[in-house]
Amino acid sequence: MSEVEFLSDEEQRLMCLKKLRILDTPVEERFDRITRIVCQSLNVPVSAISLVDRDRQWFKSVQGLDLFETPRNVAFCSQAILNDDPLIVPDALKDPRFCDNPLVTGEPGIRFYAGCPLKIGDTYRIGTLCAIDHLPRELGEADTVLLRDLAAMVVSEISNMALSQAHEGLLSELKEVERSALIDPLTRLWNRAGGEKLLDREWNAALRHKSPVSFIKVDIDRFKQVNDQYGHDIGDQVLKHIAFIIQSSLRPYDVAVRWGGEEFLIVLPGCDERPLRQALERIMSAIWALPAATDKGDVAITASMGAVAAYPKAGDDVMKLLKKADLAMYMAKSAGRNQYMIDEGEDNALLSD
């Protein structure tokens, strides 16, 4: 296995990566969409957006693996960032750089690798968009061009990340180790502690700007029965599936949180009742249409949702508003589950200036 090679401008490259504040952040649909396209278009089981840190590669998005990072000294992508051109490895067992790599000789059994560097500002290669297969193969010219084009899309998304001001502010204040502690390891959404920090920030931002904010509580129906019938491993796959549906149904600057157990919180800044209802319809339709693909086959699931929208006023309590979303969710469950309700109490009506 080759030793890690460093670029002559390694410290500047790492500084560029740190300034992007993308390491140890939650999953985002805009990036997952691209790795899914790689898998589908190149017919590979694994694709990842890998960011090469000082001692590790960390995946902003990954399809086909349950890994979120690996040591840098075993990372194919660490080799791929040494040059501008894509690194193509038709058969890793026949390549002296990788033939004894534990990712080749053991799990996940990499045989084919194609990684296109992600170059920021035509200067620093911070990582790769890569395609991986468990069988040897070649990559044709048209597929290489496609991988380059998709890598350019990743760079564009990184350069134009559309987070809310409150979200951006939190990321800028937290060190990577602190961000990592606020990410749910199963779903890769914000955990409750991270969600509470963002909740306060979004609420205060809405108060300052006199803009609306909406909250959605999502609870998987009869989740205990899923665990009892199929086991907790399948239950975890169902949770990841719901997290995927929620994330893929939201705007880039909305926030999704695993609030606890099978319950999720969604924060929608700048959102009043009409777009709130549209978001609820998108999520509910996606849950209906897409059963969870698990190791024991497709599992059909439903969810109950409660929501609330308001223009914050001085003296309002965000946790009190969340309780209204909770109550609406429990009303949806009491009414038969598999539906949503919006709290429309008079003291919670949307107010205009």
Is residue 28 part of the annotated active site? The answer reads: no
Is the CB of residue 102 less than 8 Å from the CB of residue 147? Answer: no
| Highest mean pLDDT pick, 158-167, 190-199, 234-243 | 234-243
**Has residue 98 got a pLDDT over 60?**
yes
Confidence band, pLDDT 50/70/90 cuts, at residue 198: confident
As given in the structure block, the two tokens for residue 244 are 């995927």
Q: Residue 162 has what pLDDT?
A: 52
ω before 108 within 30° of 0 (cis)?
yes
CB atoms under 10 Å from CB of 109, counted, come to 14
Alpha-helical segments (H) within 210-336 = 223-230, 232-248, 273-289, 318-334
Q: How far apart are alpha carbons 171 and 178 in whole angstroms?
A: 10
Q: How far apart are alpha carbons 158 and 324 in whole angstroms?
A: 36
Tokens 């502010």 locate to: 169
Least Cα distance to 183 among 18, 25, 20 occurs for: 25
Is the CB of residue 17 less than 8 Å from the CB of residue 78? Answer: no
**Has residue 351 got a pLDDT over 70?**
no
DSSP letters of 52-103?
A: E-SSEEEEEEEES---SEEEGGG-HHHHHTTSSSPEEES-GGG-TTTTT-HH
Reported as a single tens digit per residue, the pLDDT across 199-222 is 888 888 888 888 999 999 999 999
Least Cα distance to 254 among 178, 198, 322, 182 occurs for: 198
Considering the candidates 262, 263, 273, 344, report the single residue annotated as catalytic: 262
**Has residue 168 got a pLDDT over 80?**
no
CA separation, residue 135 to residues 45, 74, 82, 104, 145 (Å)? 10, 19, 25, 11, 21
Q: Residue 173 has what pLDDT?
A: 78
Confidence band, pLDDT 50/70/90 cuts, at residue 353: very low
Within a 13 Å sphere around the CA of 300, how many CA atoms are in the beta-carbon half? 3
Is the CB of residue 316 less than 8 Å from the CB of residue 204? Answer: no
**Has residue 116 got a pLDDT over 80?**
yes
